[in-house]
Structure 1
């Protein structure tokens, strides 16, 4: 019986290790006090942006982090902690959780693991304010487009002036 329990824990630790290694960003949040409807809404919001939301025993997460060589995560794993794994975008989980926490004060961002580095709650909130990669690309393309549009307008104006002068 005891060895079966150990096997279950080893499987869970392996699962957590895999998720930690695969994720670009992992946000740790304290969720204690959220009711079922709020938790369901949060999970739905995260799922819509491709973020996996899990609750594991803190001791198992600490073991998985240590096996991966991640230092400092254990200080944030106290109490009821959930993990939001972002596989495509390192900051998307932080943005969704921060937005949700604005209207649900019981949710508290504790820390984040972004590409192997631990960030505290203040840094997580700062990360959450960074626009998504798509928004940044759109802004960059917009900044390229504006001068080209101005040049086209200028050339068109010169052409119209020359035509009206003839």
Structure 2
């Protein structure tokens, strides 16, 4: 591998690490080409890819990625394959674990990194026991659907009851039991119910000057009489 090929290989590792939610490191010793292809196929459903990488090139890529990838450096000893998980981490860990059980414990987990945190092999095994993302979605949909179903039934019953009540009112109108037509006019006051009293006239601003003129006129009359 010449310098340009190495540079391209490092750039590819950097890109895969940056685009992955998790990177799981395995020892692929003992795997045949056929078994490796079968494992890659089982990882495809989890949107994960198994790639054999040289430790020196992976180390250079880790340095370029920075702190979030540094935990991977502890696993760069012996034959190394990197599993780039861009989808369901639990499903990817489960796929490798299930494959290893059926193939003499091959491959073996070395460790990994998830969101910048280092994972030990037993932690990856624990993740493998978690429900897949699809299963979790199914459980969430079930939890959400239950109260929604009850609400839909309640609303359906309410709307149905309103429709029945309106139908009964219409039937009574058609039979004459309930009169239809214009609303009845307001009844005239009776002797027992006196009409509302008329409002008393109140002086407005225009009445005030007139009252003052009347007072002045009376005062003039009195003075004339006394004279």
- Cα distance in 2 for partners of 1:106, 1:9 equals 28
Residue equivalent to 2:75: 76
TM-superposed CA distance for 1:107, in Å, is: 1.3
Residue equivalent to 1:93: 92
Gaps of 5+ in 2: 158-227
TM-score by length of 1: 0.80
TM-superposed CA distance for 1:97, in Å, is: 0.7
Task: State the secondary structure of the residue aligned to 2:89.
Answer: coil
TM-superposed CA distance for 1:54, in Å, is: 0.6
The CA RMSD over aligned residues, in Å, is 2.4
TM-score by length of 2: 0.60
TM-superposed CA distance for 1:150, in Å, is: 7.1
- Cα distance in 2 for partners of 1:36, 1:13 equals 23
Matched, 1:41 2:66: no
Task: State the secondary structure of the residue aligned to 2:81.
Answer: strand
Query: 1:29-55 deviations in whole A, cap 9, x for unaligned?
Result: 111111232222112212243222111
Structure with higher strand content: 1
Does structure 2 retain, via aligned residues, the 8 Å contact 1:14–1:64? yes
Residue equivalent to 1:161: none
Matched, 1:15 2:32: no
More off after superposition, 89-98 vs 76-85: 89-98
Residue equivalent to 1:28: 25
Task: State the secondary structure of the residue aligned to 1:71.
Answer: helix
TM-superposed CA distance for 1:115, in Å, is: 2.0
Q: Which has the larger radius of gyration?
A: 2
- Cα distance in 2 for partners of 1:52, 1:34 equals 16
Residue equivalent to 1:124: 124
Task: State the secondary structure of the residue aligned to 1:33.
Answer: coil
Query: 1:115-147 deviations in whole A, cap 9, x for unaligned?
Result: 222211111111112222221121122123345
Query: 1:45-84 deviations in whole A, cap 9, x for unaligned?
Result: 1224322211110111111112211223122111111111
- Cα distance in 2 for partners of 1:42, 1:112 equals 18
